A and B are shown apart, each in its own frame.
Chain A
Amino acid sequence: MNALRKRLDALKKPFGKGEKLEKFAPAINAFDTFLFVPNHTTKKGAHIRDAVDLKRTMVTVIIALLPALVYGIYNTGYQYYIQTNTPFTFLDAFIHGAWKIVPMIIVSYVVGLSIEFAFAVYRGHEVNEGYLVTGLLIPMIMPVDIPLWMVGISTAFAVLIAKEAFGGTGMNILNPALTARAFAFFAYPTYMSGNKVWVSEASNVDAISGETILGSLAAGQEVNYSMLEMFQGAIPGSIAETSTLWVAVGALILILTGIGSWRIITGGILGAAFMGFLFNLWGANALMSFSWINHLVVGGFAFGIVFMATDPVSAAQTNKGKWIYGILTGIFCIMIRVFNPAYPEGVMLAILLMNVFAPTIDHYVINANINKRKKRWSNAQELKTA
């Protein structure tokens, strides 16, 4: 370890203070700090610090994403082989999926991280770790057959417009990964919706019907999947959104480590269940009479509420605000699903909408605290003058 450290220090020398390549120090530091937690000591404020840092936080989110990602890779192959009636093994399915998805992940990371590094060097701050999560989320919520260049452009749009334009990590209003998806959704609708995009090769092989459950319901067709299949995720859909089971495992990791807000997740589930139940009572069309429990397990709801709505930067920041934000996200998600057949998947738009309203929610929550204080002041003032 010491030898490696010495080599790294030698490598870093030209990037040091006052040296020729000082400007590029953030880039080299980003790599270095992934090998070693730096030897920086506290200079002011508290003399001791917690072991947690942003790297650890983001890596925890990535770990929570892995079960859903691995299942998504498998399901990509599974959907392809099952619909083409080809005999296959687990490994076949996995390889088929990986062949499709790994390049998407690479494109997303290369494009996004290049922009992040460029901005870090330009602005002279360290590279923030947030993109490690965003960069993995983007391919996970895309349809499997989307061309790689679209992934690249969506990523660039998201990082530049949704994030860096607002000042970088911590300043953005919208969740960058969802912005990437929304961009692709509106810019390339034929690749992002319909019944030919959700299963690998569906547009090339006629035998494949790649309609999602929500899509079928919106079109008034029968749904032939069992509750168990829907829960386990053996259904068509965006790459990693299908398996509520593995998303739930991720949710458990996020909640137990305290990284994801249990308030938002619980609020979202409650909101969606409540809205689904109301529509069940109404029951005017297929989507309305679709059981509220099923609403929770199909489509991207589970994935969205666990991994996207909980993004601490774009969500509400106060504890009360998180409840309101979560519940409203759930309600809007089901409402968009049911009322707008053009967008059978409501969770993306629901979360983006709530991202925009999150600061407003916080504003009112914080104002309650401020008003209490001001009321106390004016009461005291009255007492004095009386």
Chain B
Amino acid sequence: MRIIKKIQTRRGAELNIKGKAEKVLSRTLSTDTFALKPDDFFGTIPKLIKKEGEVVQAGEPIFFSKKNPRIKFVSPVSGMIQTVQRGARRKIEKIIIAKSSAEDSVSYQVKSWQEMNREALKELLLESGNWPFIQQRPYGIIANPEETPKAIFVSTHKTCPLGVDFEFITSKNVAEFQEGIKVLNKLVDQNVFLGVDEDHPGVFEQIEEVQHYSVAGPHPAGNVSLHIQELAPLNMGDRVWTLNPEDVTNIGRFFQTGKFSPQRTVAVTGNSLNNPKYVVTTLGCELKPILDEFEIRYPQNRVINGDVLTGSTTSSENGHLGFFNNQITVIPEGNDYRMFGWLPFKDNNILSLSNTSFSRLFKKKGFEVDTNLNGEERALVVTGEMEKVFPLNIYPMQLIKACMVEDIEKMEALGIYEVVPEDFGLIDYANTSKIEAQEIIRQGIELMINEVG
């Protein structure tokens, strides 16, 4: 392994939360229903191919993207479309598939993929439903198959709180992962950039035909935005593609078997669980049977599809696993009052990055966290605190303000192309005024997509 660059940052924070998943893979779980949520694919408007009641095979397209009909989204399992859940203005929220006992899946001829040219390979990825695994920067949307990216990034070092250890879950699928990398290399003019944990590259050391770089530092050091800034900074009009390590494995497996591989290894974490661990399952699976495997400690909990900073709330009763996330977090709801909680140095059991609390001085074993806002939203007053947890070479508060006033020119100049909402997760957490930074950036990016494209 030759490290082409060591990326190090000090700006950020390691949130020491209780409930890290033990490195044990629980048995493969299957559930009765599976769901695809168009909202998982930011910026995608779905057009249904299959209707309620129709039978689908695993790997058969269910809907496509209105903007680019070549991008198809396939069923992870074989079964029947049970319901199409719609929300306000008939927006499709969830397509639920009831799994059948028969396991039919669509098969593709993949033996000779190495002889395929780039376009044919793209076509195969699009047709087989593997394309949505590929994300594009700027904006963090599904990649546009008509373009060739400047680079492809795969970051295996997840630094988010209680984040999944990709080294651990990939260690059993090294061959598939390697195959996936080879496929990706055909889509781009230089080898894929593979980010590894500086202290623990593990199995990723053996991966060939990649440009290794190492990452060290507190969260958000593992976020791809930082790596792109260091290795292939985005200029106006540039495209960079990013993938999750497990999706590289899924693509690799597809090219070995010819069948769409929807595998998801999920770290089920959080301080509400007594025995957090990893579960191997399928993307879109029902969450209830998974959560039933765990002892839950509190009466009222929040189930989060993803990590505590960037995930989305879901329900433990009828929630389904998201398309991209390798993590479920369960934490208690914090809907209670705290008397005089605003006094400095009171309630040091609440994790705080601020020096107005002693919390960081003790509790080395990890903090119990809950969903209390710990205050109320206020005007932006305190300055300098966002920069402390934001390693990109961007002025975060100024960018947030530019997004708030929808000043497109300013947003461009301040670096909107180089960020995605998840980069602002820690700012959400740490800012005194309880500003919803991720939401503001998301709306800013939506504006950019609509106005600039």
Contact = CB atoms under 8 A, between A and B. Distances in A.
Interface residues of A, number: 59
B394 interface: yes
Given A39-B336, A41-B334, A380-B238, A259 B356 contact: yes
A46 B428 contact: yes
B363 to A, nearest CB: 13
Interface stretch (B52-60, B96-104, B194-202, B378-386): B378-386
Residue with the highest number of chain B CB atoms closer than 10 Å, among A34, A318, A373: A373
Contacts of A313: 381
A203 interface: no
B308 A46 contact: yes
A278 B218 CA distance: 45
B244 interface: no
A42 B374 CA distance: 9
Interface SS of chain B: loop
B355 interface: yes
A49 B338 contact: no
B376 A56 contact: no
26 contacts: A34-B342, A41-B334, A41-B372, A45-B437, A45-B438, A47-B309, A48-B15, A48-B331, A49-B373, A49-B375, A50-B374, A50-B430, A50-B432, A51-B341, A52-B375, A53-B374, A56-B432, A59-B344, A60-B356, A126-B378, A170-B381, A257-B354, A257-B356, A312-B381, A319-B384, A377-B236
Interface in A28-83: 33-42, 44-57, 59-60, 63
A61 B378 CA distance: 17
B335 A369 contact: no
Contact of A50 (B304, B336, B353, B394): B353
A10 interface: no
A176 B307 CA distance: 41
Contacts, number: 216
Residue with the highest number of chain B CB atoms closer than 10 Å, among A53, A322, A380: A53
Contact of B432 (A5, A41, A54, A377): A54
Contact of B387 (A53, A319, A373): A319
Given A39-B337, A50-B352, A372-B393, 19 more contacts: A35-B339, A40-B335, A40-B372, A42-B373, A48-B370, A49-B428, A50-B429, A50-B430, A56-B342, A170-B379, A170-B433, A171-B379, A258-B355, A318-B383, A319-B384, A366-B398, A366-B414, A369-B394, A370-B414
Contact of A130 (B338, B354, B381, B414): B381
B308 A48 contact: yes
Contacts of B227: none
B233 interface: yes
Contact of A41 (B355, B371, B379): B371
Given A45-B437, A46-B429, A51-B354, A56 B344 contact: yes
Interface string A301-322: 0000000000011010111001
A311 to B, nearest CB: 9
Interface residues of B, number: 76
Interface of B: 15, 17, 233, 235-236, 238, 302, 304, 308-311, 313, 329, 331, 333-344, 347, 350-357, 359, 369-385, 387, 393-395, 397-398, 413-415, 425-426, 428-434, 436-439
A168 interface: yes
Residue with the highest number of chain B CB atoms closer than 10 Å, among A41, A46, A59, A129: A46
Nearest to A255: B355
Contact of A51 (B347, B383, B398): B347
Contact of A380 (B235, B309, B373, B393): B235
A45 B436 contact: yes
A128 B235 contact: no
B384 A376 contact: no
A50 B425 CA distance: 12
A41 B373 contact: yes
Nearest to A9: B337
Given A37-B338, A56-B343, A312-B382, A51 B357 contact: yes
Contact of B352 (A39, A51, A171, A377): A51
A51 B439 contact: no
Instruction: Identify the 7 closest CB pairs spanning chains A and B, nearest first.
Output: A53-B375, A170-B379, A37-B341, A46-B428, A55-B342, A52-B354, A51-B350
A39 B372 contact: yes
Contacts of B354: 50-52, 56, 257-258
Given A55-B342, A59-B343, A380-B235, A261 B375 contact: no
A386 interface: no
Contacts of A170: 378-381, 433
Contact of A48 (B351, B355, B393): B351
A219 interface: no
A44 B337 contact: no
A41 B369 contact: no
B295 to A, nearest CB: 21
Contact of B375 (A37, A171, A257, A376): A37
A1 interface: yes
A342 interface: no
B355 A257 contact: yes
Contacts of B359: 51
Given A50-B429, A380-B238, A37 B352 contact: no
Nearest to A52: B354
A376 B235 contact: yes
A313 B433 CA distance: 13
A128 B436 contact: no
Given A40-B373, A47-B304, A59 B335 contact: no
Contacts of A372: 393
A269 B357 CA distance: 28
A36 B426 CA distance: 25
B429 A48 contact: yes
Given A36-B341, A54-B433, A60-B356, A45 B379 contact: no
Contacts of B436: 44-45
A36 B436 CA distance: 22
